[in-house]
């Protein structure tokens, strides 16, 4: 999926992950703007990998809920945008995470919050 959408992981540390891409014509929807799913995918990928970076080997996670507010449109030719995911809180079964989609100048294009469900390896008998 990342290859098809031309997105790539560019940074990861504990509790934080950053994905990047440059919006292109093939990301457009029939209305003539970059499809919201492009930004949502960058954000969900960054937020999920931020959670993943906090887990022990064998633990699993998946997105339970994702909410995205789009603040400014994306277009081809605007250069690279970055989806930045940061873990806010993690407990035994869930993680709360936020995401920022920023343009090359650091302007906020979208903001997201999400919840990931966590399945601990030791609790699955693994």
Q: What pTM value is reported for the model?
A: 0.93
Q: What is the pLDDT of residues 99-125, one digit of tens each?
A: 999 999 999 999 999 999 999 998 765
Residue 89 is classified by DSSP as E
At 99, is the secondary structure helix, strand, or coil? strand
Query: Taking 60 as the threshold, does the pLDDT of residue 12 lie above it?
Result: yes
Residue 6 CA to its chain's centroid (Å) = 14
Q: What is the pLDDT of residues 25-56, one digit of tens each?
A: 999 999 889 999 999 999 999 999 999 999 99
End-to-end CA gap in the chain: 29
Q: How buried is 15 (Cβ within 10 angstroms: 0-12 exposed, 13-18 middle, 19+ buried)?
A: middle
Token reading at 99: 């995401």
The band of 1, judged by pLDDT with boundaries at 50, 70 and 90, is: confident
For each of the domains in the chain, give its residue range(s) and CATH number, in order of start.
2-123 (3.10.129.10)
Q: Where are the alpha helices (DSSP H) in the chain?
A: 2-5, 36-52
How high is the mean pLDDT of the chain? Answer: 95
């Amino acid at each position: 999926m990342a290859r098809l959408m031309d997105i790539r992981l560019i940074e990861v540390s504990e509790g934080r992950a950053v994905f990047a891409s440059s919006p292109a014509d093939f990301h457009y929807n029939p209305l003539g703007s970059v499809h919201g799913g492009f930004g949502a995918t960058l954000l969900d990928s960054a937020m999920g990998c931020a959670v993943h970076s906090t887990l022990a080997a064998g633990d699993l996670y998946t997105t339970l809920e994702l909410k995205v507010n789009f603040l400014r449109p994306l277009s081809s030719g605007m250069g690279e945008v970055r989806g930045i995911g940061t873990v806010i809180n993690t407990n035994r079964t869930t993680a709360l995470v936020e995401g920022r989609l920023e343009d090359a100048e650091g302007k906020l294009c979208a903001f997201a919050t999400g919840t990931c469900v966590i399945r601990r390896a030791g609790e699955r008998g693994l």
